[in-house]
Amino acid sequence: MRSILVIGANGKLGSKVHANFAQSPHHTVIGVDVDELDIADFHATRAYITTHNPQLVINCAAWTDVDGCAKDPQKALKINGYGAGNIALASAEIGAGMVHISTNEVFDGKSPQPYNEYDPTHPINPYAYSKWTAERMVMAHNPHHYIVRTAWLFAHGGKNFIHSILNAVNAGKQLRVVTDEVANPTYNDDLADAIVQLADTARYGIYHMVNTGSASRYQFARYVLDKTGHADVAITPISSKEWARPSTPPTYASLNNNNGAFLGITLRHWHDAVDTFLMKEGLLK
């Protein structure tokens, strides 16, 4: 029996990871969120982790408002960067391993091909920098770490790109979607399953856990519309320069899953994942 602590357990990914572990007779799992624990407070984080004494800590907590991070970089660094560092230090002190969730945005998007796990990183916006800082701290403070990078998560019960596109259509809005932002649309439930598999391997390192295949935001939106009975709805293709926003995301930040695949952990193609998501939402036509 292994004891697991999920931090950020009320979030979409954290709640699914918590539920998956709770179904196993081989694990005991505890969940905590920001209302009980401020990961930016090192002493509080150390006390909580020490008291519960887990064998594995999974950090799903983060400030994921990318544009918000651009407006307040210090807050982003405090929560995403130093918060993860606090968890890494505290978990290492009790000999616990750590899973940390990171992002494809640690890359600058200038590569002509998908990024591999150990390609050089180069964050270009405050959110990305805060997550890059987290990676560095986790690697420095806890040798028993899994760093899991993902991209473009969509989950049930919350705001995501799929819901935004369909809400805009239902509101009669004209769709304008960028064509030069490319990454891997990734289903929250598939990622949670992969994390559970990975956590049982004791094969520490960096992993790219994304659904197979990549797409531009435009291609992602087009696929969603075609699958939900809106094939007749037009989308105006635009460049990222035409979509003003506080943050500057990397343009091409598709990820390769090499390390996970070597362990037999792969995620299905994003088309199949979107189909399953839409079916469960009652939106697939």
How far is 191 from 181, CA to CA, in rounded Å? 21
The token duo for 249 is 């995301």
- The residues near 150 (Cβ < 8 Å, ≥ 6 apart) are 101, 102, 103, 104, 184, 186, 191, 208, 209, 210, 255
Query: Collapsing DSSP states into helix, strand and coil, what is residue 29?
Result: strand
Exactly one of 48, 82, 115, 127 is catalytic; which is it?
127
127 is catalytic: yes
| 14 backbone dihedrals φ, ψ, rounded to 5° | -60, -40
Dihedral sign from CA coordinates of 103, 108, 114, 117: negative
Chain-centroid distance of CA 275 in Å reads 20
- Return the active site residues: 127
